[in-house]
Copies of this chain bind each other. A is one copy, B any other.
Amino acid sequence: MSDPLPSDDTRLLLRDATLADERRVDVAVADGRIAAIADVGALTPADGASLNCLGGLLSPSFVEGHIHLDKTLLGLPLIPHRPGATVAARIQAEKDLLRTLPLSIEERGGRLIEQIVAFGTGAVRTHVDIDTEVGLSGLEAILRLKERFRTLIDMQIVAFPQSGILRDPGTADLLDAAVAAGANLVGGLDPAGIDGDVGGHLDAIFAIAERRSAGIDIHLHDPGALGAFTLRDIAARTQAAGLGGRVAVSHAYALGALDDATFDSTAAALARAGVAIMTNAPGTGPMPPVLRLRDAGVTVFAGSDNIRDAWWPYGDGDMLDRAAVIGYRQGFFSNDDLAHAFAMATALPAAVLGLPGYGLAVGAAADLVLLPCAGIAEAVLERPRARTVLKRGRVVAADGVLSGASAFGNSL
């Protein structure tokens, strides 16, 4: 993310687009950035192309807050889901399955990247498994994908200890090596539930983050009071390390099932420390209460999490659909609440990921998605598939099809 693309000389005039505030405007794009925003008809077309937006909604690109590019089974015939009795059994079952696949991470993950780019996602935070069996091989594949698709999508990588840290000795060193090799953040997984040692698990993560100046993004499924205890420990460590704004906790189901006093103290600790929460709006069980957390000062952003993989057969990576699912699960009915769901798939993850130049303003990166809707509420409710996607001012996808890209390539 710290390495923006070199500008190119593409010029494009987007005519008659509707902005989030319902203003109808023309937007001029030059050198990969938004050069001007003006009333419809006020801009003189340059020598570049022009696109009639027909009053459609123009938004900054979707931002995928949590995905596992290395796990997806996309590109393969459906592999029926096999339930596992315990989390440990499911971790092992996934390892066994991934070892046997006829398609590589680059093939499967590349397919998923192409799919999410076509949906309008311009930046993604992906977690990649790091353990003593696969070592850094998954990270290396993801780094190759990041390079291969750099003209289509910005990528942030979390080194994710799917098999635990203390439970799988040697993993802490691998996480450290992963960050040295190009991962942007250190991940974690259920300090109590997986490693049985909240302090030990967090010690390892925060030590690497501080040593390498990396961010942190921890998977936390541990429920109730135990999850809340862990959240407060993460908040305290974040504050002590001065890492506010660079730490996220993914899932944090616990926040959806706390008594009021515990919720309030936990939310206050997260807000004070600058720890953000990622949710994919799970269908069963509790989830973080989005507006209550927002009102307490905690940023909650959206991610797809698993997509057609050994953990979860659902999903396609459409962040507009994710916004709608969040709204449906949280009872968002008003236009304001629907707009908040949209922000959870756009501006809020952009802020958490620290994307430079994100937004719809002069000077911002021209990473845009055009939707055939009259406004943001309609977009969330209708989730239209007909979209035009721009990256750095170039049209890279329209109506679900990448412009000039081969099935697994980046021939743009």
Contacts and interface: CB of A to CB of B under 8 A. Distances in A.
A382 interface: yes
Contacts of A283: 328-331
A330 B284 CA distance: 6
A375 interface: yes
Contacts of A375: 78
B330 A313 contact: no
Contacts of A378: 78
Interface string A317-357: 00000001101111101110010000000000000000000
A80 B22 CA distance: 14
Copies in the complex: 2
A45 interface: no
A144 interface: no
Contact of A81 (B81, B328, B333): B333
A377 interface: yes
Contact of A312 (B81, B308, B333, B334): B333
A308 B80 contact: no
A36 interface: no
Interface of A: 77-78, 80-81, 83, 283-284, 308, 312-314, 316, 324-325, 327-331, 333-335, 338, 374-375, 377-378, 381-382, 385
Given A83-B334, A314-B324, A381 B78 contact: yes
Nearest to A315: B381
B374 A77 contact: yes
Given A81-B334, A312-B333, 5 more contacts: A78-B377, A83-B333, A283-B330, A308-B381, A313-B377
A328 to B, nearest CB: 4
B80 A284 contact: no
B335 A81 contact: yes
Nearest to A382: B316
A313 B381 contact: yes
